[in-house]
Structures are given as structure tokens and as C-alpha cells.
Amino acid sequence: MSQIKQDKAESVRTRFAPSPTGRLHIGNARTAVMNWLFTCRMGGRLILRIEDTDEERSGRESETAILKDLQWLGIQWDEGPDLGGPYGPYRQSERTEIYRIHADLLRKEEKAYPCYCTARELEDRRKERIQRGDSAVYDGRCRHLTREERRGLEEEGRLPVLRFRAEAGSVEFDDLIKDHVSFPGDQLGDFVILRANGMPMYNFSCAVDDHLMHISHVIRGDDHVSNTPRQVLLFQAFGWDVPVYAHIPMILGSDRVRLSKRHGAVSVAQFREQGYLPEALVNFLSLLSWSSQTGEEILTLRQLIDEFDFKRVSSSAAVFDTEKLDWMNGVYIRRMEADRLANLVEPFLKESGYSVSGEKLRVLASVLQPKMERLSQISERARPFFADRVKPEDDEAAFWLQTEPARRALKALDDLLETVSEPEWSGTAFLSLMKKVQETTGIRGKDLWMPVRVALTGQLHGPELPVLVEFLGLAKVRRFIRGSLA
């Protein structure tokens, strides 16, 4: 294998290798985040590799969407299909000749052999072995076929796959999270490395690419633990150094079942569309199975990078706590500068049919900022600012419009509104009128303010009234107050 073996890379090189078969799943995003944090911590290079050998399910549209999601999260890679690099191509579909050359080398050294068994034959023999209490792995039927026997099978029209010859004995490797891992060799069997159409199987393309791209650390979900022994065998067969592995525990829903669509949003795109911030999501994902030694949970990117250490990654599954994510996202929203918040909430307002821009948008965003945990919530919170008519939202709210003090206070305010012109109208002018209502009627406190709030919003709780009335304008305020007296 000397003509293909390459020198071991001196620096840390990690890779995130999604399959473009759909949107970026939140579990895969967590894997990308951990690769990124570790690589930045070590001053290494992160490689983006697209594993698109599943011809039926893979597509460039999904690839583009995945890259968009990664960029939205702020994750930066150093080599990839969009950036290029010294070890490309970075799409596996463009590396088939590389896999063929390496497969031929294994075959020439009799470390791999063609297998002509049909899917039906394999399944029938697997059931027979299970009934006998034997291992369900491939029985090696084609291991020792003669040249004549192979020729005869090919004349039948059978197209062979290529199987790796897995020798007996345990396969062992060290893991940064799971410590030492050992797999019995008899549970692996002779596994397929090339399909009949020449496309590589996952374990084969993954091992070849990890070597040729000088990957020093393979950081991925622990659903890949069962793949690792096969990849280790391939590294050993080629005489290559085995990378360092770190298998991250899976993410569970609140019911402690693996996170899936039935738990709600599962793709990065869905979280973005619901109004979560990328920095909050990265912070949250980093804390699934990992914790800061400070005990803090709101951490800047610099803190995450400086503190990230696999020694603090738990081997136990992480529970995706949506309430905690909402709380964390709310903290980031409340800390955000007003101009950025205004830009981010504007699309949500437009989607709800609310047209506002400039200083009014900035004011609106600032007023509602303390009330939001997700950007999408602004549409509901902003409803009183854009209402064309108001009615009490429930019986309790309606009650505050029916009392005798309420009617007197609202009538007094209605009369005073006639004395104000539009150019004079402001939140300060409104407060001045409310003071006069108090002085002339003797009504004060909740008996004064609650009827006005319900008359203007239909709600018992909501935005600060001086800000609201200035936003609404004098004409609307007059109409709403008069309408409450009808």
C-alpha cells in the first residue's frame, strides 16, 4: 500500500460529513458544533465533506440547504466543496475513481473478494443461521470460489459486490468519550465495501477519505460506534494510522426516546423559522452532554472555544429541553442591540401582514424585546399596535369596561382627546391627559388605568400605554376609546 499511504498530518484536522438527503437535523448540527469548537480550540482545520454516494436520495438542493444552515449557525470550515482545498474533491460522488483504485488494491492482496449472492439468498441463509442459533453475519459463501465458479456465476448475469475479508479476532479502539471499546470479530463478518454498480459503501468511502484527507480526529454521533470497527479494519488492512475517535451521545426527547419529528422541530431550518437565534442555538447545543467548568450556561463563543474539552463530555444521552432553549434564546434576545433586533423581527411582522419600518419598527422591537423568547412571538405581541378594532379578549377584561368608574374615566378621557391635535400627540401628551382625568374624576390606580388598557388593547396585560398610544396615533386612540363607550 506504500503508493497510497500518506504521511500523518501534524495538525488537528476534523471533518463534518453530512449526507445531502434532506435538511440539517439538529443532532447533526450538534455534531458540527462540537467538531467546530474542538478544532478552534486546538487551532486545527475543519473539513466539510459531502457524503452523497446514495444516488437515489442525495441532491444538490439538500447540499445547498445544509451549507446555508451551517453558515447561519456561524460554523466556519477551512476546506470543502465550496472552498476547495488540497485533498479534494470534497463530494464523495466525485471520488469514485479513488475508491475503485483502493478497492483494487485490497482485491489484489486478497483482502477483498467478489460476492455473487443475491439479496434473497442472503436473507434466506441469514434466517437459517438465526434459527440454528448461529451468528446472523454473512457466512463467507463466496470467499473461496474458484475462477471457474466465478465465471459461471457471471455468465448467469450476476453482478458481484466486493466484500472485505474480515479475519477472526476482536477489533479494539480508544474513544475520547467511551474510553476503550472492543468488538468481537465474529459479529462483523465479511462486509461489503463496493456495490455491484461500483459505488462505495459508507464504511469504505469514509475510511479512505478520512485517511486521504489527513483526518486526525473523527467526532460523530454514537450511532456510528458499530461502524467504527469496520473502518478500523480497513485502516489496518491498508497499513494506515487509525484516527482518534470521539462518539458523542445521542439526543433524546423529553420522553427519553430518540429525538424525532414527533417531538416538534428537528431541523435547523425549523428552529430558524421559529425565531431562534444562531448564537443561542449554538450555546444550547454545546451544552448537550457538555458543561462549562464555571457552571455557567450562557456562554460566549469565545468561552465555548476556550473551555471545550472532551473530558467534560458525558457518555450519557442528552435530553433536548425546549423550555431551556426558549429561556436561553430569550436571554440572547434581551441582550441584543435594538437595530439588529428590528432587522430580525421585520420579516415575522411582514409575514403577519404588519407593515412598519424605520424608527417605528425600532421602537416596536425595543418595547416588545423583554417579552419575547422567540422572534416569531413578536407577531402576537405586536397585535395591539396594528389593530383596526378592539374588543375584550375575555369576560374579565370586559368587566373593566362596565363599571361606573370605568365609564366615567373613559368619557372624561374621550372629551379631553378632542382638545388635542395630531401634531401635539405623543406618549407624554397622553400621560398629561390621564393626570387630568384623575384630577377631574377622582378615579385613580387600577380603576383608572385598567379600563383604558382594555379599551385600547382588549387585554389585561400588554405594552406600556404611552408607547402604544404614540404608535397608534391620535385618531385611532380616539376611535378605540369612543368604541369602548358604545
Mean pLDDT of 272-279: 97
For residues 17 and 45, state if they share a domain: yes
For position 163, what pLDDT does the model report?
97
Last residue of a domain, one of 177, 202, 227: 202
Q: Which residues contact 169 (CB under 8 A, 6 or more apart)?
A: 185
pLDDT for position 255: 80
Residue 392 cell numbers, joined: 375584550
**Structural domain count, the chain:** 4
Q: What is the pLDDT of residues 296-332, one digit of tens each?
A: 999 999 999 999 999 999 999 999 999 999 999 999 9
Residue 236 lies in a domain: yes
Query: What is the average per-residue pLDDT within 410-434?
Result: 95
261: annotated active-site residue: yes
Q: Is residue 163 part of a domain?
A: yes
Element (H, E) at 28: helix 26-42
For the chain, the straight-line distance linking the first and the last C-alpha, in angstroms and rounded, comes to: 91
114 and 191 in a single domain? The answer is: yes
Q: Angle CA(348)–CA(351)–CA(357) in degrees, nearest 5?
A: 65
**Domain final residue, candidates 219, 251, 283:** 251
CB atoms within 10 A of CB 252: 18
Same domain for 481 and 423: yes
- Band of residue 476 on the pLDDT scale cut at 50, 70, 90: very high
| Domain shared by 102 and 175, yes or no | yes
**The pLDDT of residue 72 is above 80:** yes
Domain co-membership, 125 together with 197? yes
Same domain, 239 and 168: no
Query: Are residue 179 and residue 110 in the same domain, yes or no?
Result: yes
Catalytic residue chosen out of the listed positions 111, 261, 360, 476: 261
Q: Is 72 inside any structural domain?
A: yes
Whether residue 220 sits in one domain with residue 156: no
Domain CATH code at residue 402: 1.10.10.350
pLDDT-derived band of residue 263, with 50, 70 and 90 as boundaries? low
Single-letter residue type at 205: S
H-assigned helices in 418-486: 427-441, 446-457, 465-472, 474-485
Domain assignment of residue 194, yes or no: yes
Q: What does the radius of gyration of the chain's CA atoms come to, in whole angstroms?
A: 32
Is 6 a residue whose pLDDT tops 50?
Answer: no
Q: What is the CATH number of the domain that holds 227?
A: 3.40.50.620
The rounded distance, in Å, linking the Cα atoms of 304 and 310 is 12
Looking at residue 58, its pLDDT comes to 82
Domain boundary among 251, 282, 312: 251
As a whole number, mean pLDDT of residues 415-440 equals 96
- Is residue 86, in this structure, part of any structural domain at all? no
330 within some domain: no
Average pLDDT over residues 326-350: 97
Average pLDDT, the chain: 93
Query: Which residue segment(s) compose the domain that 232 sits in?
Result: 13-81+203-251
Whether residue 193 sits in one domain with residue 230: no
Residue 5: predicted pLDDT: 35
CATH code (residue 127) = 3.90.800.10
Distances (CA, A) of 289 to 34, 105, 480, 482: 11, 41, 53, 58
Strands 179-183 and 45-48: unpaired
**In the chain, what is the greatest distance between 2 CA atoms, to the nearest angstrom?**
111
Q: Are 106 and 237 found together in one domain?
A: no
pLDDT at 259: 79
Report the pLDDT averaged over residues 40-44.
Answer: 96
**What dihedral angle (degrees, nearest 10) is formed by the CA atoms of 407, 408, 412, 413?**
-40
CATH of the domain at 358: 1.10.8
Question: For residue 1, what pLDDT is reported?
Answer: 32
Cross-strand pairs, 219: 246
Are 128 and 75 members of one domain?
Answer: no
160, part of any domain:
yes
Q: How confident is the model at residue 2 (pLDDT cuts 50, 70, 90)?
A: very low
Question: 32 and 76 in one domain?
Answer: yes
pTM, full prediction: 0.88
Q: Is residue 222 in some structural domain?
A: yes
